[in-house]
Each structure stands twice: as C-alpha cells, then as structure tokens.
A and B are shown apart, each in its own frame.
Chain A
Amino acid sequence: MLHNIDLNKFLSLFTYVPDDPLLFSTAEFLFFFFAFLIFYSAFSKSRNFRVYILIIFSLFFYYKAAGLYFLLLIFSSLFNFSAGKFIGQSESPLKKKTALIASIVVNIGVLFYFKYTNFFIEIINHIGSSAITPLDIFLPVGISFFTFKALSYVLDVFLEKMEPEGSFRDFLLYVSFFPSILAGPIDRAPEFLPQVKGDVKIPENYIGRGIFLIIAGLFKKAVIADYIGVNFVDRIFEMPTRYTGVENLLAVYGYALKVYCDFSGYSDIAIGVALLMGFKLMDNFNSPYQAASIAEFWRRWHISLSSWLQDYLFRPLQMKFRNLRTLGNASALVITFLICGLWHGASYTFILWGAVHGLMMAFALFTKKPKQMLYEKLGISNSKVLHVLQVIITFHLIAVTWVLFGATSFSSAMDMFSQIFNYFKGGVFVQFVQAFPSVFALIIAGYVLHFIPKSFEVKSAGLLTKTPLWGKALILAVMIWVVAQAKSADLQPFIYFQF
C-alpha cells in the first residue's frame, strides 16, 4: 500500500496537476531542472540534438502547467510560422497586408477567447441588463506572453526586420522555450533564432551571470516578495478597512516593492536558467524605481512588453496621427496604455491602471515646455536636487497607481486611500515595527538594494564567474536553504500568472 502511494506521487511529478505548474521557486522545478541540466550538458554538443532536447523539455514543462493545452502552443507555432512564410513569399503588398491582418485576427482572437470572453459577457450584462451565463473557459497560463512573442515574429517579417524562418523546428523552440513561457521575457525572433543556429558552446560568463541571476531572483521572489506579501501586504489589500491609515500606507510601499520583486525576480530566474543553457534572453527590468519620469519608468519596467507595445502599437498609431503633432503622440500613448492595462488582465481596475499611466504621460507631453522654462527660471534645470525630487515624485505616482493594480476591486482601492487620509493613526507605526520587525526590515532592505548602483551587480556576477564550480554550487545551495526558511507553508502564486 505504502509503496503505491509513493509511486503515484512520483508519477504525478510527470503528469499535469491543475494549479500546480513547475514554478521556478519550487523544489520540483529545481529537481527537474538539475536532472535536465546534467542530461543537457552531456548531450547538447550536437546542435540538432540540443534543439530536440529543449523542445521536448519545453513542451513537457508547459504540459505540466496547462495540461492538454500544450497543443495550443504547437498550433500557435505552426500558424505563425506559416503566416511568416506566406508574407515572405508574397509579391504583392496587398497579399502581405491581408495575411498580416488575418494573422493578427487569429492571434488576438485566440487570446481574446481564452482571456476576455467572460469579462465582455459581464460588461454586456451590465449595459443591457441581460443575463448571459459566463462560459467555463480554462485560461492557459502564459498565453498573453507566447501570443505576443509569436505575433512579434509575423510583424517583424512584415516590416522586413528579418527574413522568414525556414525551420519549423527552430521556430517551435522560439515560441515554446520553457524559461520564458510562463511569464516572459517576451523575446524577439531576430535575437533568439540566430542563437538556436549558433555555437553550442556555453561561454564561461553565461554560467556566472546565470547563477547570479538565479540567486538574485530567488531572493527577490521567494524571500522578499512572498514573505512581505503573505505576512503583511496581502492581508491589508484583502481588507483595507480593518487596518489603520498608517498600515495601509506601509502596505502601499510594501506592494510597490512586492510587485517589483515578484515579477523581476521571476524574470531574473528565467534569464538565468536560459543562460545556463547557452541562451541570452532580453533584459526585462532595470531598477525601475530609479526613473525620474513615468516615461522613463516604462523604459525600465517590463522592458520586453513596453518595447513590444512601442514597436508594434505605439509607433503605427503615432504615424497615423502625426498631423496632430503633440496631440497625436498623446492619443497614441493613451490608446497604447489602455491596451497595456487590458493585456494585464480582464478587469476594470487593470484598464483604469493603464489609462492613468497613459494620461500621466500625455500630461507630461503637454507640460514639457512650461516645466522646462520654470526650471530654468529657478536655475535648477539639470541639478541634482531636481533629479532627486523627480525620482521621489515619480515613485509615488507609480506606487499610488499600483494600488489600482493590486486591489481586489475599485472600491477596495478607494477604501485604502480613504483609510490613509481619514484614519491615519500615526502612533500605530511603532507598534507595527515591533510586531513585524522582519517585514519592516525586508521592506527597507529591498528598497536599499534597489538603489545600489549597477556596477555592484556587474562586479558580483564577475566574482561569481571566477568562483570554481563547487563554490558556485555551494552559494546556490545556501540560497536555496535561505529560501526554504523564508517560504511560508503554502505556495504563493505569482502575481503575473493570471496574465
């Protein structure tokens, strides 16, 4: 009897278990990944073999997360591969354009069906006071990510940024590559595909940087984000009215750190895991809270998405509206960020969050000249003081908008602000620090780390590259032990997994 249970447990490692994907910070993933890595380093000397191993493991990895929906991944790859080929081979601009539009309709249609159908049924019910029953639709994880990735390839072929890919096998690996399948980075074909065909030898500095990123990512995700989330931030966001204004305010600061550590930590692990296999994915975060304007924040936050939106949505819109000049730019920004909000999830709060970001940037466009004149009058343009002020103001604007992003509903977000303004109770701060010293310490540490100069990171990764292999393994083992200590009893889902 006993060995039956064990066998079932062992078998369940290899089969799809709903709501139990192989998250990067779980013991199961680390077990699979290290087993895979040993196998991979032994057999990846041959280019063909390496690609097949990666495809099989990637499809298995996605099957673990989404069950039979891994077929959707194969369909998406096949469809977009064919669309790219067709556009590349067509002579007439009209044919190219028709194929592009058809491809956009199919990609966005599939994404829309899985992700937004019920949200729109809700809106229709709301407007027409009808009562259409929501459908029972399974949301395949990562669908927003791999749809955008595959679509960018078709657009790149259309815009003649690259030749259509000849090998379906290589293209399938591009779409399904397991490190970035669940939560990005949304890599681009012109950067990724040459690596599939390139040298199979893994450079020394990839290993050092890879391990550094995995360690940093585990620390950000499993220590900072999960710990302050479970023990403090999430509780306030669930029931803001049960807590004082000062706790709500601290939760706003805590959430801004949590959402960054959660998502960038996951990205770091993804990029690190890819490096250990010899693939360089694009950078996704660059100390976003060091930004001195909202526009700069978007050049540092979720870069693979913001650059995607800029290249394929903002630029075409901006060209269309160019006769309106600044107003054209502003309209293109607002539309882009409305869609950016919607991309994050099917709810009013996400759309509003995107709209506010778009409007803030549009406002900055119109006030650029008078602001510049004012700074010159005061003699503070390009001064350090001004820069520090801009960073502080930008951060607070972003932190306030995160409340919309993280709140369970719009009214719950408003409750948080009303608690902060009407029921502050500053004295509770001391009690909070006494009751939650580790949460408070982690929040402070997280922000201090965020403002450390980049050169420190480069130096650390360089040191790790020089460390012998047993040393690297030891450091990684220590980090995994620290994560295990910090882990709460139940697994925290990634904030970005619903996207």
Chain B
Amino acid sequence: MISDRLKKTILNVLHLEDFEIQDDTRADEVPGWDSLNHINVILAVENEYKVRFKNIEVLKLKNIGDLQKLVDSKTN
C-alpha cells in the first residue's frame, strides 16, 4: 500500500494533478518519471522523510512498492 504522503511527494515533484500509484507501479509507467527526472524524485523523497538512501538501495528498487518499503525501513 502506497501512503498518501509518499504519493503526494512523487506527484508534486513530477507536477502531476493525480495519478493512480499501486505497489507494483514501475517508475517508467508514471508520466514524467524518466531516467533524468529519477534523481529529483529520489531527492524529494529523501527530503520529505529526512532520510538518506544508500546508492545500492535505490538501484535495487523494482517498483514504487519497493520504494515505500525502503522509506518504511528507514523511518521506523
């Protein structure tokens, strides 16, 4: 389950009004989330939650559900 807070962070940085995001949604399925924008999304999530991901943790992400799990593991 993707939290509203994470969803909002992603939509804000991509300037999207609304977009359905599920656990198995992949980054490239979200409009504007391309390889160049990728760092802006990661930075926005890090800033929102005041966490710092390791490079390898980000590279292993397969979908947005994984990102949610990563955020949860850092904030709990």
List B1-51 residues whose CB lies under 8 Å from chain A.
35-36, 38-40, 42-43
Query: Which chain A residues lie closer than 8 Å to B40 at the CB level?
Result: 325
A315 B59 Cβ-Cβ under 8 A: yes
A322 B39 Cβ-Cβ under 8 A: yes
B58 A325 Cβ-Cβ under 8 A: no
CB 8 Å contact bits of A152-164 with B (1 = contact, 0 = none): 0000000111000
A325 B39 Cβ-Cβ under 8 A: yes
Q: Is the CB of A76 closer than 8 A to any CB of chain B?
A: no
Query: Which chain B residues lie closer than 8 Å to A161 at the CB level?
Result: 62
CB distance from B40 to the nearest CB of A (A): 7
Q: How far is the CA of A295 from the CA of B59 in the complex (A)?
A: 21
Q: Is the CB of B76 closer than 8 A to any CB of chain A?
A: no
List B47-61 residues whose CB lies under 8 Å from chain A.
55-56, 58-60
- Contact A328:B39 (CB < 8 A) given known A159-B60, A160-B60: yes
Q: How far is the CA of A318 from the CA of B37 in the complex (A)?
A: 11
Residue of A nearest to B39 (CB): A322
A325 contacts which of B43, B56, B59 (Cβ < 8 Å)?
A: B43
Total count of chain B residues near the partner, CB < 8 A: 13
Query: Which chain A residues lie closer than 8 Å to B38 at the CB level?
Result: 315, 318
Q: Is the CB of A389 closer than 8 A to any CB of chain B?
A: no
Query: Which chain B residues lie closer than 8 Å to A329 at the CB level?
Result: 36, 39
Q: How far is the CA of A320 from the CA of B53 in the complex (A)?
A: 11
CB distance from B19 to the nearest CB of A (A): 20
Q: How far is the CA of A161 from the CA of B59 in the complex (A)?
A: 10
Q: Is the CB of A390 closer than 8 A to any CB of chain B?
A: no
Q: How far is the CA of A160 from the CA of B61 in the complex (A)?
A: 9
CB distance from B62 to the nearest CB of A (A): 7
A159 contacts which of B35, B42, B59 (Cβ < 8 Å)?
A: B59
**Majority secondary structure of chain B interface residues (helix, strand, loop or mixed):** helix
CB 8 Å contact bits of A313-341 with B (1 = contact, 0 = none): 01110111011010011000000000000
Q: How far is the CA of A320 from the CA of B55 in the complex (A)?
A: 7
- Contact A314:B35 (CB < 8 A) given known A159-B60, A160-B60, A319-B55: yes
Q: How far is the CA of A1 from the CA of B60 in the complex (A)?
A: 66
Query: Which chain A residues lie closer than 8 Å to B39 at the CB level?
Result: 318-319, 322, 325, 328-329
Residue of A nearest to B40 (CB): A325
Query: Which chain B residues lie closer than 8 Å to A318 at the CB level?
Result: 35, 38-39
Q: How far is the CA of A161 from the CA of B26 in the complex (A)?
A: 14
Query: Which chain B residues lie closer than 8 Å to A328 at the CB level?
Result: 39
CB 8 Å contact bits of A220-239 with B (1 = contact, 0 = none): 00000000000000000000
Q: Is the CB of A290 closer than 8 A to any CB of chain B?
A: no
A319 B35 Cβ-Cβ under 8 A: no
Query: Which chain B residues lie closer than 8 Å to A202 at the CB level?
Result: none
Q: How far is the CA of A325 from the CA of B35 in the complex (A)?
A: 13
CB distance from A90 to the nearest CB of B (A): 14
Query: Which chain B residues lie closer than 8 Å to A160 at the CB level?
Result: 60
A316 contacts which of B42, B59, B62 (Cβ < 8 Å)?
A: B59
CB distance from B14 to the nearest CB of A (A): 15
Residue of A nearest to B42 (CB): A322
B59 contacts which of A319, A323, A365 (Cβ < 8 Å)?
A: A319
CB 8 Å contact bits of A292-328 with B (1 = contact, 0 = none): 0001000000000000001000111011101101001
CB distance from B67 to the nearest CB of A (A): 14
Residue of B nearest to A321 (CB): B39
- Contact A310:B35 (CB < 8 A) given known A159-B60, A322-B42, A325-B40: yes
Chosen A-B contacts, 8 in total, with CB atoms closer than 8 Å, are A159-B60, A314-B35, A315-B59, A316-B59, A319-B42, A320-B55, A325-B40, A365-B36
| New contact pairs (5) apart from A329-B39, A365-B36, CB-CB < 8 Å | A159-B60, A315-B35, A320-B55, A322-B43, A328-B39
**B interface list, Cβ under 8 A from A:** 35-36, 38-40, 42-43, 55-56, 58-60, 62
